[in-house]
Structure 1
Amino acid sequence: MPLQPSLPFDESAPAAEAAMRRARAVPPGHLDELGAGAGGLREPWAGFFQVLGEDGIGALGQQAAAMARQIRDNGVTYNVYADNGGARAWALDLLPFMVAEEDWLQIERGVIQRATLANAVVADIYGPQTLLAKGLLPAGLVFGHPGYLRPLKGYQPPDGNFLHIVAVDLAHTAEGGWTVMAHRTETPSGMGYALENRLIISSLFADAFRELRVRRLPAAFAQLVATLAQLPAGRLSGPAGVPGAPPPRAADASAAAAAAGKHIVLLTPGPYNETYFEHTFLARYLGITLVEGKDLTVRNDVVYLKTLAGLERVDVILRRLDDAYCDPVELRQDSTLGVPGLLQAMRAGNVLVSNVPGSGFLETPAIHGFLPAIARELLGEPLLLPGVPSWWCGEDSARAQALDQLGEAFLMPTYPRGMAQPWEGPRLGMERGLQRLADWRERIGQVPDLFTIQADLPLSHAPRWEGPQIGSRAAMLRVYAIADGRGGWQVMPGGFTRLAGEGQPAVSMQLGGSSVDTWVLSSQPPHGPALAAATTLGGAGPGPVAKPLAVSSRAAENLFWAGRYAERAENNVRLCRLVLGSIESSDERDDSVLDVIGELTQACGLLPPGAPQPRASLRVFERSLVAALAESAGWTSVGQNLASHVHAATEIRNRLSNDHWRTILAARNDFGDAMAAACTGASGSGDCGYYDRPRVLAALDHLGMQLAAISGAQGDRMMRDEAWRLLFIGRHIERVGTLSTFLEVFTRHGALMHRSGFDLLLHLFDSTLTFRALYPGRTDMPALIEQIVIEPTNPRGLYGLLARLRVKLGQITPPASPAGGGRAPLPQWLPAVETLPGWEALCERDGRGQYTNLVQLCDRLGGLMAQLSDEISARYFSHAGVAGVRVRP
């Protein structure tokens, strides 16, 4: 196909001239997507820079900085295995990758054909195997590939489709055409990142996005959800949803499924997977439940989600877990990521998995050589998009042809990289660059089926902002086809474009590559997706009954701990601010207050055991306290609490508003930056080197405001469902335990007999202003006990906290599993307020002048909070026994 026309260089077009002055030449032999040669800019880019204007081009550096901030604020990450599970900030380049309308029509038709063909091949291989019988696909290439799953031979998915998402990697060649480089059928990744890229880049270039009429992406995600939701649910359980009951007739099953609605989950390997951010993003955007393998269980060939209330049936699984790890019973026995019994539940027709496991053999690079003939056999037509020239060395004739015709080529592994190779040295692949085939002839002859020879196909080079110049990198476009549930396919009008890393011949995010937003241009004005068939807004009948979102056991645990970590961080910040703000300035300081400060900083995790005490040296104590604040200090202080809060929030991101989520991330990031700027030479060894004390206090003040905003979001931005109640309970357990510790330590050391200690405790209970208003001029224990223990309206009064906690415990659904059997209801684990010591008893002093009853009360409440936390964990966060199942009918 001819290239898009270029605009001739025009001295009167200052924006185009400014862009061309900044552009570097691409390597010889590669298509220049920008077209910045003597012929002028290619049409899409000429229009883009014309909209930007000279000022916009001059501001690209600021736009790149804004993009980086947005990636950080949104928490967009990519886990790289070489980083030992560490998360890197997502690599996104500023300038988009543009596809002209004519090019897209060619791509769209070709990708739909490829998706149709891929589904037909998988159906044949697990069905009649006519391709093998006719020799159109070598049996050794299929049966020797670990992606072929023998346990699924003969399996027929309920809707007849083995694949619901197919991704095709495309290269734009020097001749201007598009060539297929790879197929992704197992767990196609990148759709979520493509949407995140779009949200960021379109906001930075809003005018150009509108003027060029870039096609929108949301319709593709709506199609995906609609496809999954309309998939047949299989044979449903009996009327009460009890495993083992006879299945209903098919018509009854369809009616029951339509009435109840599908329960769709997204199965992820977990937080250490390289694309975990995408999994959480997709689950939240699609409105489905994010689960790990341990969240699911199979009972009588039915898949259930372990929820707060028991087990709830799962109808459809959108899978992001590799085939081999899906079921440790029939596949990899060492897998701890999968669901034991999943394949049997599929064969029984009780769950639909998308994509169906077993299509991994289609991802081999060797498949390209066989697809032209297969397309003619299965579709009766030639391929619309050519594949990269490839020869599988397992065929003698193909191997001989490649070795005779090619001096240099890419040596690709026929099978997945996890398989052992019978030679020393680096693994095969494009990242190794072109190889002299003569050097490999002997090794290829020893194990020919492991090798696939692929011709060199120079990838086009896309422009990349490398301020102040425009550089370029090799680009590869991944396009997604989504089954429409009616035998056809819809192609997402855009894609996931990746650029090669510096000096890398292969396009790979693992090897330092980056991504760019993909703009498909249109001559038509943009229009949003049509609404689904309308329901009852016109009063035609009863509306759908809203079903509460299921809270998986793992999500419940993370909700509970998100509440605890947020409260813990808030209490610790308040304590740090008071200690650092008053330790040197208080004229009324005495040894009892210093002892309290030393004990509380260790009890709250601000300093490790054995750290310097304030009595010995206030200066050394303060330096140690500041050194332990940062996340990198290696101690469970404020920074580590913030990191733990982010981790827990990541697991429940679909429950949080965008502002809530961004504030949680900002609290961690801003505090880390502020501490790095305020301290030099900081370490966890008790020495902070130099630190700017006012800046440390300012960092704590700012963090305190952010934590207050998080608390407000938890109270104002969340549905008052069981998820919110769990978070509330976690917060209040932490609050009661911490405030009880504060009061007990101050009382036991006699620090409340001094004004400085009295004031510090009021600050820690966040009750100073109220106390001064209610009891002006008083600093006596009876007034203090009334305010911070007895008064029910004080949000930090211990008895009021206990009363509210008991109420919320009573609103949590009792577990249906044996974990809760025979145990007292949760509210009974806490005493009723009326049974606790009253004001007079708490004000009593023993013969030594100690407030024994008050100290004992605090000790009791602290112990009860620990026991209650353990009890909640045992009851709700694991369902290991035989199900006393609570499921929908």
Structure 2
Amino acid sequence: MAAALAAPAAPGHFDELRGHVSVNATSSGASRQGLTPIWSQFFDQSGLGDLTSLKRRMANPQHQNHGNDIVKIDDEAGADASGAQHPWSLELFPLIISPQSWQQIELGVLQRVRVLEGVMADVYGPQKLLAGGLLPPALVQGHPGYLRALHGVEPVGGTHLHIAAFDLARGPDGNWWMIAQHTQAPSGLGQLLANRASLSRQFPQAFEAMHVQQLAAGYRALVQGMQRTTVAGARAHIALLTPGPYNESYPEHAYLARQLGLSLVEGSDLTVRDQRLYLRTLNGLEQVHGLLTYLDDEFLDPLELRADSRLGVPGLLQTIRAGHVLMANAPGSAFFESPALLGFLPALSQHLLGEELALPALATWWCGEPAALAHALSRLDEKVIKPAYPASSWGPASFAAVPARSLTRSALGEWAARIGRDGDAYTVQDDLPLSQLPTCGREHGSPTIVPRSATLRVFAISDGPQSWRVLPGGLTRITTANEDWASLQHGARSADTWVLTHGPGDVDRTTLQAQPKSIVTRRAAENLYWLGRYTERCENTIRLARLTLECLHGEVPPPAPLLTWLGDLDARNALVPPGAPAANLAPCEFERALVEGLGGGAATASVGFCLRAVQLAAFAVRERLSQAHWNMIVQASQEFVQRSAEAIPAGDHAASDAMRVLDSASTQLAAIASAQNDHTERDDGWRLLGIGRYLERLGFLAASLVHGFETGSVRDAGGLKAMLALFDSAASLHAPPPNGREVAALLDLLVLDRENPRSLRRIAQALAQCLDELASGGPGKASPLVLQVPDPDHWDLAQLCTVNAAGHHDRLMDLLQQCMSAVRALSDKIGALHFAHTSVPQSIGGA
């Protein structure tokens, strides 16, 4: 039984598994018995009712993830072997909330969001609450999150807060308390949805039998409510504004945008014209009517807020003033996140609603008031010390919450002195022993159930003007073994939250049926184009490096022309550093330079460099790639750098070790290329990815042929074989050509063949087709870029084989130079046409 495996909660903490406060933490007797009915039902319905199945499931939790993109069911939080954190580690067990408990939470949260909305309307309007002394001006106008630039501005639809998050904790008495509120880009909606997708598949029978309330209706209501509030109605274009892939919550932003059918955009994707907000796409500007923003307010507009911001949109605040864009949330709500405000909300609720708060907050004192300061200092050892203001470029320094019980006597005295000197900057809050949830753990190497403290973040979302609902569930955050306060930013795990209903008729079975707009931003297009180019460049350089090492270690010493050709190509493609010895003069030294440079150091842009470039380009369009695709790219890059470094000190075996590393990378690149071709949406972004690949391939192979004929390496059997290998076309030559026809056969296969996917003809045709299909040309209208591609229909084998008096293939060289020039010209024109940022000053005025 689970009760026999589960240790009791720590003394003084509410035990979620048993439904009462824990008195002692002994591991025997009644303390391990007596699960609540809902937890007994969970273990029975989930197939974990017996000890053997429970241990088996807990022993291999990662095998049960069902392919979820962004969460991992795990039994430990923190760093992996490479030092990377697991910010999305998911607990195997959910937090289960009864219908009665949820009713209390839902009522209290809805009431609180109404209070906050009333406060927003007042402080950005008549400011009667400030004048009447119900709110200290220091906590509103003195807070860096209050935006004076928006005073007097009425938001679109009249609603300021479309999403509000409330952190709750269950105390020893089993009651829920509010400990924090979040209104500025509150995180967790994406992770909450991902957790539910993973755990409902993990325990489908229990999920259905326990009548767990579903989430989809709330998410749909959020998007539909935003659309209805805008002038465009159901046709409104809603986008999700993210700080970008370097933000730790970017995977959540990408996942949420994909699930809700929203365009995922960064500030550089947007522009303001005539006080309206537009998205830069390959097809021109498309108006954005609403923004679900995950960008802190101070970064939104560098013209009026933080001048050094590169994440926002110049002129965005003027667009908001003009009423042309709906913001969720309206900027300027960050002052609500000061814990100092919690102590003023009961009086505000009475004033604005005529109601007492149904969901109490932990007793909180802002030390900027003399009476509160005196009380706080007299009982400081029982409190948690928090900053009244956040860390900001505009405000005072901040710090993490400090439980006074964790301090030594001298440290507590130092804190008391600081608070006494500058009370305005500090808030103290009652210390609450958090309830403890069953989690997966290990004891002496065996799986066991370990109690961990947890908090619950619930979300109120607007489903229309001045109307809200509470998502029936939440993001349960679980502390590590040595902490009492959960923080996702510090590696804490999360758990799904199951809100039970009274029966199947109470379950809302609405599903998410998002229909994402097929929009390719210019930023995404540019990164997809370079993703294609660098992927192809990786394949080419791997094949070239492998071929060079193979020739250097062949049974017969390679002829000088072949070594000259390979050495020139290696240098041209940065496989060896400048000044490396010539391959035909010092082959051993050349080989050493080649092997040492494979990882791509400061002196070379070799295979390792190209793999990192692939990863960087893919990182910028992470939302468009599957998790498997992204994982393959990261794995290929990391493994190659590590293994190539291990091959360097191998002495006489360095070349053979390096070839094995190159073979492994080649296999991984083939899988990556397959994912790009077969598992990417067939839109203009995919076409640009293909264009990047074909341009890179055409330029590389044309240059390889030029150097092959210039060095004379193609005039012997070894050189012909090497050229076929570099074109990856050795298998396409079904029989050795007759004597005297070797060059003709080579050119027929590598230049003119209609079936060989790596012939210049096929590459040029594929490139022209992709260029022609780009939407910028319009329906039935040929793209002008197509005219830049050499036309294979005018190529003739007899002419290409013709030699002049000096034995040179002038016609062939002209064709190859034409291909190389076309690559350079097309690259420049594609960049100017599709990727170049506007150089026209952005208008923020007008009607």
SS in 2 for 1:478: strand
Deviates more, 1:578-587 or 1:565-574: 578-587
More divergent stretch after superposition (824-833 vs 866-875): 824-833
What residue number does 1:798 align with? 760
457, 460, 473: which one aligns with 2:432: 457
Query: What is the CA-CA distance between 1:176 and the residue it aligns to?
Result: 0.9
Cα gap change, 1:217 to 1:281, in 2 (>3 Å): same
Q: Which residue of 1 aligns with 2:109?
A: 111
Q: 1:498 to 1:777 in 2, by over 3 A?
A: farther
2:241–2:292: 8 Å Cα contact kept in structure 1?
yes
* Secondary structure in 2 matching 1:230: helix
Of 703, 711, 716, the residue aligned with 2:668 is 703
Worse overlay, 488-497 or 474-483: 488-497
Alpha-carbon deviations, 1:270-320, whole Å to 9, x = none?
A: 222121111111222222211111111111211111222322211111111
CA distance in 1, matches of 2:461, 2:404: 33
The equivalent of 1:809 in structure 2 is: 771
Deviations 1:594-614 (A, max 9, x none): 333333334334444455665
Residue type of the alignment partner of 2:631: L
Instruction: State the SS of the aligned residue for 2:453.
Output: strand
Q: What secondary structure, in the 3-state scheme, does the structure 2 residue paired with 1:449 have?
A: helix
Q: Choose from 421, 427, 444 the match for 1:446.
A: 421
Would the aligned equivalents of 2:66 and 2:201 in 1 still touch at CA under 8 Å?
Answer: no
**Residue 718 of structure 1 corresponds to which residue in structure 2?**
681
Note the C-alpha offset of 1:455.
Answer: 1.6
Aligned positions of 1:508-519 closer than 5 A: 508-519=487-498
2:475 alignment counterpart: 496
Which residue number in structure 1 is paired with residue 821 of structure 2?
A: 863
Give the alignment of 1:100-139 within 5 angstroms: 100-101=97-98, 102-139=100-137
My pick for the range that moved more, 371-380 or 103-112, is 103-112
Quick one: which amino acid aligns to residue 880 of structure 1? Answer: T
- Against the structure 1 CA distance between its residues 641 and 466, is the aligned structure 2 distance closer, same or farther, given a 3 Å change threshold? farther
**SS class of match (1:510):** helix
Q: Distance in 2 between matches of 1:703 and 1:220?
A: 41
- What is the rounded CA distance, in whole Å, between the counterparts of 2:543 and 2:66 in structure 1? 28
Letter in 1 for 2:10: P
* Conserved 8 A contact 2:380-2:416: no
The one-letter code matched in structure 2 to 1:829 is: Q
* Aligned with 1:284 (options 258, 277, 282): 258
Cross-structure match for 2:34? 40
Look up the match of 2:336.
Answer: 362
Shift of the 15–173 alpha-carbon distance from structure 1 to 2, 3 Å rule, reads closer
Q: Does 1:754 align with 2:716?
A: yes
Partners of 1:69 and 1:599 in 2: how far apart?
49
In the alignment, which residue of structure 2 is the partner of 1:247?
none
Tell me: CA distance 1:708–1:147, structure 2 relative to 1, closer, same or farther (3 Å): closer
Q: Does 1:316 align with 2:299?
A: no
- Counterpart pick for 1:478 among 434, 457, 461: 457
2:213 partner letter? R
Partner of 1:191: 189
Over 3 Å counting, the alpha-carbon distance change for 1:579 and 1:64 in structure 2 is farther
Taking a change above 3 Å as real, the CA distance of residues 470 and 231 of structure 1, as seen in their structure-2 partners, is same
Aligned identity (percent) is 40
Alignment of 1:381-392 (within 5 A): 381-392=355-366
CA deviation after TM superposition for structure 1 residue 150, in Å: 0.6
Partner of 2:310: 336
Where does residue 797 of structure 2 map in the other structure?
A: 839
Q: Distance in 1 between matches of 2:486 and 2:417?
A: 29
Q: For 1:224-247, what per-residue CA distance to the aligned partner results, in whole angstroms no more than 9, with x for missing partners?
A: 2212222223xxxxxxxxxxxxxx
| CA distance in structure 1 between the partners assigned to 2:364 and 2:717 by the alignment | 83
Give the 3-state SS of the residue equivalent to 2:157 in structure 1.
Answer: coil
Could you tell me whether the CA contact under 8 Å between 1:679 and 1:688 is conserved in 2?
Answer: no
Q: Distance in 2 between matches of 1:431 and 1:789?
A: 73
The code of the aligned residue for 1:566 comes to T
- Unaligned runs of 5+ residues in structure 1 are 1-13, 234-256, 535-545, 817-823
Question: How much has 1:462 moved relative to structure 2?
Answer: 2.5
- Asked if the contact 2:143–2:395 (Cα under 8 Å) also holds between the matched residues in 1, the reply is no
1:20-71 deviation line (CA, Å, top 9, x unaligned): 3xx3x54332223334834433444433444223333222454334368967
The answer for the alignment partner of 2:631 in structure 1 is 665
- Asked if the contact 2:528–2:689 (Cα under 8 Å) also holds between the matched residues in 1, the reply is yes
- After superposition, the C-alpha distances for 1:427-469 in whole angstroms (9 at most, x for unaligned) are 3523787556653344323322111111211222223322323
Judged with a 3 Å threshold, the aligned counterparts in structure 2 of structure 1 residues 493 and 645 are, in CA distance, closer, same or farther, namely farther
Match of 1:31 in 2: 14
Kindly indicate whether the alpha-carbon contact (under 8 Å) linking 1:586 and 1:756 is maintained by their aligned counterparts in 2. Answer: no
Answering whether residue 131 of structure 2 is matched by residue 162 of structure 1, we say no
SS at match of 1:515: strand
- 1:541 aligned residue: none
CA distance in 2, matches of 1:477, 1:494: 9
Which residue number in structure 2 is paired with residue 296 of structure 1?
Answer: 270
The letter of the residue matching 1:221 is Y
What secondary structure sits across from 1:772 in the alignment? coil
1:211–1:611: structure 2 CA closer, same or farther, 3 Å change rule? Answer: farther
Query: Is the CA contact 1:627–1:688 (under 8 Å) kept in the aligned structure 2?
Result: no
1:288/1:547 CA distance change after superposition, 3 Å: closer
Q: CA deviation at 1:688?
A: 9.4
> Within 1, Cα distance between the matches of 2:647 and 2:494?
35
Contact 2:537 2:610 (8 Å CA) reproduced:
yes
8 Å contact kept, 1:213–1:523: yes
Question: How many residue pairs get matched?
Answer: 813
Cα distance in structure 1, aligned partners of 2:830 and 2:405: 56
Structure 2 distance, partners of 1:63, 1:452, is 44
Conserved 8 A contact 2:434-2:455: yes
In 2: Cα distance, 1:776 partner to 1:393 partner: 95
1:767 paired to 2:695: no
Preserved CA contact (<8 Å) 2:281 2:522: yes
| 1:166 alignment partner AA | A
Match of 2:198 in 1: 200
Q: CA deviation at 1:107?
A: 1.8
C-alpha distance in structure 1 between counterparts of 2:346 and 2:267, whole Å = 38
Counterparts of 1:360 and 1:63, CA distance in 2: 42
So what's the TM-score if we normalise by structure 2? Answer: 0.86
Q: In the aligned structure 2, how far is the partner of 1:531 from the partner of 1:92?
A: 25
Return closer, same or farther for 1:814/1:148 CA change in 2, 3 Å cut-off.
Answer: same
Evaluate the alpha carbon distance shift between residue 680 and residue 864 of structure 1 in structure 2; reply closer, same or farther with a 3 A threshold.
closer
Q: Which residue of 2 aligns with 1:228?
A: 226
- C-alpha separation in 2, matches of 1:202 and 1:532: 15
1:419 CA displacement: 5.5
Tell me, in whole angstroms, the C-alpha distance in 1 between the residues paired with 2:71 and 2:58: 20
Give, in whole Å, the separation in 1 of the partners of 2:404 and 2:379. 21
User: For the residues of structure 2 that align with 1:666 and 1:306, how far apart are their CA atoms?
Assistant: 30
Q: Distance in 2 between matches of 1:278 and 1:191?
A: 8
Quick one: structure 1 residues 294 and 645, their matched pair in 2 at CA, closer, same or farther if it must change by over 3 Å?
same
Tell me if structure 2 keeps the 8 A contact 1:815–1:875.
Answer: no
Shift of 1:668: 3.3
Task: Map 1:374-773 onto structure 2 (within 5 A).
Answer: 374-418=348-392, 427-430=399-402, 434=406, 438-467=413-442, 468=446, 469-525=448-504, 529-530=509-510, 549-579=518-548, 583-587=552-556, 589-610=558-579, 615=584, 625=594, 628-629=597-598, 636-656=605-625, 658=626, 661-669=627-635, 672-673=638-639, 676=642, 681=646, 692=657, 696=661, 699-713=664-678, 717-719=680-682, 721-772=683-734
